[in-house]
Amino acid sequence: MLALADCNNFYASCERLFQPQLKDKPVVVLSNNDGCVIARSNEAKAVGIKMGEPAFKIKHLIEQNKVQVFSTNFALYGDLSKRVMSTLRSEVKRMEVYSIDEAFMSLEGEGGLEEKVLMLKQKVAQHVGIPISIGVAPTKALCKVANYIAKKHTKTGVFLLEDEKLIERALKWFPVEELWGVGRRYAKKLKSMGVYTAWALCQLDDNWIRRNLTVGGLKLVKELKGEQCFPLEETAPRKKNICTARSFGKEIATLQEMKEAVSNHANTCAKKLRKEKSACNKLTL
């Protein structure tokens, strides 16, 4: 069995960690130069603030609901991410850090899975102070489904998807657009064919899936059926692309200002490249 640990509203939770008075208050984090919303607390979601919305468009919501607004602090988020991952790693034999706020873990040979993951959740809360949700299932794709349920539909923040009948029930309810790797374009295409749930997707012909959703889509469906196609990657593969993208906080009026921004971001990309011990063969601006 595998488990997926996912930090809840990670950037917003990081900001709350140092300001406990913001518990149960709406909080949003804005992208560089305070452009767009990139993280929201549950309370901010409840008042209608959407992910990716430009800050100037939601000024009325922010003022009406006394939403606390923060600029990004990636140094802080990176440090807290390392602490979360280190805490999880100390309790499992094998682990893949999937993103800054997500990790897949192997629970092979572990007894009492629910007790184990509840202990992991409590340990991260105690040692780091960041709330996490954990989904347990036989494959990574099913772990994503289990984690979605754990986060949105349980009080404990933990959900085990191990029984075949339970998996079937979950997939018959699970919206196809929420599936791991199914983007907006694929979701629109599937819905136009009457495929609205993960279960309906699993009933499609494998050849059709390969032709229309590529090999990645076929692997996703096989994972939903319980066949492991995405192994645990304990060592992160080298990146094929490195990007530094920022929005400007004000209108840029001179070529010199633009040159300075491009130079600064190119330097950031170069640092990331050196850290990867990689070489660049194409540069796009």
Strands 102-106 and 37-40: unpaired
pLDDT tens for 134-175 read: 999 999 999 999 999 999 999 999 999 989 999 999 999 999
What integer best gives the mean pLDDT of the chain?
91
pLDDT in tens, the chain (285 residues): 999 999 999 999 999 998 989 988 999 999 877 788 999 999 999 999 999 888 888 889 999 999 999 988 888 999 999 999 999 999 999 999 999 999 999 998 888 899 999 999 999 999 999 999 999 999 999 999 999 999 999 999 999 998 999 999 999 999 999 999 898 888 998 999 899 999 999 999 999 999 988 899 999 999 999 999 999 988 777 778 888 776 676 788 899 988 988 888 888 888 888 888 888 888 888
Instruction: For 192-209, give one letter per residue: b (16+ CB within 10 A) or e.
Output: eeebebbbbbbebeeeeb
Residues whose CB falls within 8 Å of the CB of residue 120, separated by 6 or more in sequence, listed in order: 3, 5, 88, 91, 92, 105, 132, 134
Distances in Å between the Cα of 237 and the Cα atoms of 4, 45, 97, 196, 277 are 19, 34, 11, 33, 12
Q: Which of 209, 224, 219 is nearest to 141 (CA)?
A: 224
pTM: 0.82
